[in-house]
Structure 1
Amino acid sequence: MGDGPSLRKELLGAERRLLELSPHGRLRVGVGYPNTYHVAHSSLAFQWVLRLTREVPGAGVERFVTDPGLAGRTLELGTPLGEFDILAFSISFELDAVNVIRTLEAAGIPVRREERGAGFPLVVLGGAVASINPLPLAPVADVFCLGAAERVWRPLLELALDEPDRERLLARLASMEGYFVPEHHLDAAGRPLHRLRRLEKRRHEMEEAGLVPVSQLISPNTEYRDRGLVEMSRGCPEKCRYCWVSHNYGRLRAYPAEHILARVEELAAVTRRIGFVATAVGDHPELARILETCRSMGLDVALSSLRIPAMREEILRPLAASGARSITIAPETGSDELRRRLGKPTGNAEILAAVEAAQRSGIESLKMYFIAGLP
């Protein structure tokens, strides 16, 4: 791939979009992922935030990533990042924190928040890292969105449209649940003044049509290569002791099957490859029906990792019939006792039975996750 302009043209030209972004609006918003185009557009969360931003009247939005030749400017028009009112980073992995800093440096924007005044964009961080531990990046970000983007991102944009004064905007956000504003929430030593609350997606919100996250563009230049992603559920039925998600995202809450299938039909207009993702994708109560419908549509279907208790033949058969040849499970360790102590009461015999069921159903390849360093 070539320099910035030619790389932008090549990446954009390969996309098939469900959503067209518009840079025009009273509030100019740059939404970015602190990694390469390949990594960024493999993230359903990043793509969904683009959709949520586009739906806010008055907000114009462009994307930015960190590929060589692209850093410091947007993907759509090559707009310098310093020209935006808000720069929002969706950050899922701790090691990408350094790329937030590099992106600001490439754009000529002061890294430390106290050095940025009214002439610079408001720097907002969201995603898993922002919720799990925002403190390492507290000297950098003006605002952290804590929790589900559906609960915290749109209200922030609407408030920014209503309140152009930077300091008043920060003060108002600091008074609301779902935001961490270091300027208001840390003492002089950088210690939190009080406990803050994350806002997660509630069950009744997940039952509303149109709120199922779905890929907004399909590209061969991603980890999933032309596969559109659909979220199945949030939360988890287990409480594994090592897992932050199971203790903080609440109980399993599934989207209605008809809403998921409506998203599948949207994606089917631009791709025949569909991926279902969730913390516990195999535990959706209507997964067998969803997979069978996808099979009847002639779609190639893949799932994110399956919980071992969810590996039932009524799920595995239509999955294999839809083209899946590989599945992923997470035994974590080879010891039944250690697995039980981890809060995962699944025995080796159950694991082997599930693998045999997968083989009988036509699955040919198995990936397993293990945790290194357990006592």
Structure 2
Amino acid sequence: MSKFTAAEIRRQVERFLPKVLKPSRYLGSEWNAIKKDWDKTEVHMAFAFPDVYEVGMSHLGTRILYHLVNSYPEFLCERVFAPWVDMEETMREKEIPLYALESFQPLQEFDVVGFTLQYEMSFTNILNMLDLAGIPMRSEERGIDDPWIIAGGPCAFNPEPLVGFIDFFLLGESEEQLPEVLRLIAEQKTNPLPRRDFLVRVAQVQGVYVPDFYHVSYKDDGRIESIRAEEGVPAVVEKAIVADLDQAFFPTNPVVPYLEIVHDRMMLEVMRGCSRGCRFCQAGMIYRPVRERSQETLLRQMEELVRSTGYDEVALTSLSSGDYSCIQPVIESILEKHGDDGVGVSLPSLRVDSFDVNLAESVQKTRKSGLTFAPEAGSQRLRDVINKGVTEENLLDAVETAFKKGWSTIKLYFMVGLPTETQEDIDGIVDLAKKVANLGTKMGRRNITVTISTSFFVPKPHTPFQWEPQESKASVDLKQRYLREKLRDRRFKYNYHDVKTSYLEAVFAKGDRRLAPLLEWAVKHGARFDGWGDQFREDIWMDAFKEFGVDPHFYANRVMDYDDILPWEHLGSGVTKQYLVSEHHRALHEAKTTDCRHDECSGCGICQARGVQIILKG
């Protein structure tokens, strides 16, 4: 139990808060925040986002699950985010435990703390937050008074480096499984079972993975020999899926922060899933199948959002919003209804091959802020390898139309280090950037700016490229320097992602549970906020690898065989291994796979195996 009460924490925090950066990160009490009576609710959950407030509050999943849990009268859900380094320093100095924003209750007092796993580079923040809360990092060291520590999100599809710290993981979409888990925790509070018996009950819930019941053995060369499931739990844990988005819970009274957050606007989730089949994209695989919301549902939700938030912009979110079959009529209806009140629409991403200038104009009526496209690769050959499905002609047509209509700022996203990449593909990035800029000049646009951003390819679990190695840091570093030199022109801005953090991301993306002790050691030696360039400490990680005799290249740079047992082999995204192998073969033969929404079934297995289907509303 914490030695501080909520009232004492609040009093202490209010004294020193003016001295820290962005104090409103730690205050709570925002518009639409939900404060429930602690004593009148059965289960108390803290929803923990392992990054700063501005990042966590911009995440749609945080909004959905916070309001979902609180929609049940018997449950209470409060929020907690990773305190920035100055706040953490002060809290440790004054021995103030990590607390939830709504009530200032210390995390130790909650029944369950649920982390969202959005990014491998936030793993250290999870352990650091537990430590700051006074909760033992390791599951085996926690007692009956400590909360259950659970986690979900995309990285739960390979959570093995976190095994030993998290009691159980939720795979897939939590709208139905999370309330079911909380009901079991309520029963456990009333009629306690031994820990193991309770975990056996939880493991029966669709998509719940309890690592204690899965035993991994290794070969002499370090590869996995077997993953054995105990009796009474599934051999493969298959994700939870929401079948019908129109029936799914969606909050229309989200918390409105006092300070500006990364995506400071209303959000409408128009669809889930993507069937484009980009071979590097984990989200495109693990969020299948495609399910759309109807226009009627979206317009009703929009009406309620405007009334409850006061925002003047709504983002139509999904993995590929331009693919939503009702996108044009929904935008027109929103602008017709709310445009006179100054409400605008934004689209997070526009695909080159589905670009519609009228669509772009309707969402940028007041100001032409710039258009963003993601060709991903510099040559058509490499775009075919990754199954991007766009051509140079698509891009130049879209850009020409945009220049004609008054845009002068274009952003282009590429990946460096993709499988089979050659120097010609790198030169293709430069050529494409020059063609776009020259087109703008030809069209008579002044002050043209073409921003080229490159990220370093990270092979991800449950994708056709999961068997691929990441290219060496030195090689990609040379490519980035080459691009920097070739793009020295006032018309261009070149941004690139740090090679060192992408390398560590690959280690943990493809890692197994042998990385857990190393992760704990790194946290105890100061690793945290690894995704932030100014906080990342490569020296700590290199020392950690040496300390435990772990070769990071074994995870990041090793070519894996199809018959290798992967660390995530017992976790199912619904997409079959045979499909991923087939797509990997097709990539190496530069063969494209069509989108199953408009063509024949590509055979990924999700619809047949799980009895779900693609739902299009247009």
The alignment's TM-score, normalised by the length of structure 1, stands at 0.90
Q: 1:144 to 1:326 in 2, by over 3 A?
A: same
**8 Å contact 2:28–2:101 — kept in the other structure?**
no
* Deviation digits for residues 273-298 of structure 1 (CA, Å, limit 9, x no counterpart): 21121101111111111111222212
Structure 2 residue aligned with 1:200: 241
Q: CA deviation at 1:323?
A: 5.0
Q: CA deviation at 1:255?
A: 0.8
d(CA) in 2 for partners of 1:332 and 1:195? Answer: 33
Task: Supply the AA of the counterpart residue of 1:372.
Answer: V
d(CA) in 1 for partners of 2:391 and 2:164? Answer: 45
Structure 2 residue aligned with 1:170: 199
Q: CA deviation at 1:26?
A: 1.4
Q: Secondary structure at the match of 2:65?
A: helix
**8 Å contact 1:35–1:66 — kept in the other structure?**
yes
Matching of residues 1-375 of structure 1 within 5 Å: 4-5=13-14, 6=17, 10-11=24-25, 12=27, 15-17=30-32, 20-22=34-36, 24=38, 25-68=41-84, 69=87, 72-130=98-156, 132-164=157-189, 165=192, 167=195, 168-186=197-215, 191=227, 193=229, 194-202=235-243, 205-208=244-247, 211-212=249-250, 216-219=254-257, 220-225=259-264, 227-269=265-307, 270=309, 271-296=311-336, 297-298=338-339, 299-321=343-365, 323=367, 325-374=369-418, 375=421
* Mean Cα deviation higher: 168-177 or 6-15: 6-15
d(CA) in 2 for partners of 1:360 and 1:287? Answer: 23
Q: How many residues align?
A: 367
Q: Secondary structure at the match of 1:16?
A: coil
d(CA) in 1 for partners of 2:34 and 2:249? Answer: 18
Q: Secondary structure at the match of 2:333?
A: helix
Q: Secondary structure at the match of 1:218?
A: coil
* Deviation digits for residues 92-123 of structure 1 (CA, Å, limit 9, x no counterpart): 11111110000000011110111112110000
Q: 1:104 to 1:332 in 2, by over 3 A?
A: same
The alignment's C-alpha RMSD in Å is 2.4
d(CA) in 1 for partners of 2:288 and 2:29? Answer: 38
Q: 1:338 to 1:142 in 2, by over 3 A?
A: same
Q: Secondary structure at the match of 1:60?
A: strand
d(CA) in 1 for partners of 2:152 and 2:215? Answer: 18
Task: Supply the AA of the counterpart residue of 2:293.
Answer: Y
**8 Å contact 1:148–1:199 — kept in the other structure?**
yes
Q: Secondary structure at the match of 2:72?
A: coil
% identical equivalent positions: 27
Bigger Rg, structure 1 or 2? 2
* Mean Cα deviation higher: 41-50 or 352-361: 352-361
Q: 1:33 to 1:154 in 2, by over 3 A?
A: same
d(CA) in 2 for partners of 1:259 and 1:187? Answer: 46
Structure of greater relative contact order (alpha carbons < 8 Å, 6+ residues apart): 2
d(CA) in 2 for partners of 1:363 and 1:201? Answer: 39
* Deviation digits for residues 293-331 of structure 1 (CA, Å, limit 9, x no counterpart): 222212122111122222123422312226563332211
**8 Å contact 1:29–1:60 — kept in the other structure?**
yes
* Mean Cα deviation higher: 185-194 or 107-116: 185-194
Task: Supply the AA of the counterpart residue of 1:89.
Answer: F
Task: Supply the AA of the counterpart residue of 1:223.
Answer: V
d(CA) in 1 for partners of 2:134 and 2:154? Answer: 26
Q: CA deviation at 1:23?
A: 5.1
**8 Å contact 1:30–1:84 — kept in the other structure?**
yes
**8 Å contact 2:181–2:205 — kept in the other structure?**
no
Task: Supply the AA of the counterpart residue of 1:201.
Answer: V
**8 Å contact 1:56–1:157 — kept in the other structure?**
no
d(CA) in 1 for partners of 2:44 and 2:136? Answer: 19
Task: Supply the AA of the counterpart residue of 1:67.
Answer: P
Q: CA deviation at 1:362?
A: 4.9
**8 Å contact 1:72–1:106 — kept in the other structure?**
yes
* Deviation digits for residues 330-352 of structure 1 (CA, Å, limit 9, x no counterpart): 11011011101111121111111
* Mean Cα deviation higher: 91-100 or 162-171: 162-171
Q: Secondary structure at the match of 1:111?
A: coil
* Deviation digits for residues 36-76 of structure 1 (CA, Å, limit 9, x no counterpart): 11111011111111011101231112111112437711112
Q: 1:213 to 1:76 in 2, by over 3 A?
A: closer
Q: 1:244 to 1:99 in 2, by over 3 A?
A: same
Q: CA deviation at 1:179?
A: 0.5
The alignment's TM-score, normalised by the length of structure 2, stands at 0.56
d(CA) in 1 for partners of 2:188 and 2:353? Answer: 50
Structure 1 residue aligned with 2:597: none
Task: Supply the AA of the counterpart residue of 2:30.
Answer: E
d(CA) in 1 for partners of 2:407 and 2:344? Answer: 14
d(CA) in 2 for partners of 1:324 and 1:192? Answer: 56
Task: Supply the AA of the counterpart residue of 2:185.
Answer: A
Q: 1:357 to 1:156 in 2, by over 3 A?
A: farther
Structure 1 residue aligned with 2:574: none
Q: 1:110 to 1:358 in 2, by over 3 A?
A: same
Task: Supply the AA of the counterpart residue of 1:31.
Answer: F
d(CA) in 1 for partners of 2:227 and 2:143? Answer: 23
Q: 1:217 to 1:302 in 2, by over 3 A?
A: same
Structure 1 residue runs of 4+, over 6 Å off? none
d(CA) in 2 for partners of 1:361 and 1:233? Answer: 29
d(CA) in 1 for partners of 2:253 and 2:119? Answer: 20
Q: CA deviation at 1:244?
A: 1.4
* Mean Cα deviation higher: 25-34 or 261-270: 261-270
Q: 1:279 to 1:214 in 2, by over 3 A?
A: farther
* Mean Cα deviation higher: 250-259 or 63-72: 63-72
Q: Secondary structure at the match of 2:126?
A: helix
Task: Supply the AA of the counterpart residue of 1:160.
Answer: I
d(CA) in 2 for partners of 1:93 and 1:35? Answer: 10
* Deviation digits for residues 232-275 of structure 1 (CA, Å, limit 9, x no counterpart): 11111301111112222223211111211222222212211211
Unpaired stretches in structure 2, ≥5 consecutive residues: 1-11, 89-96, 219-225, 230-234, 422-618
d(CA) in 1 for partners of 2:108 and 2:28? Answer: 26
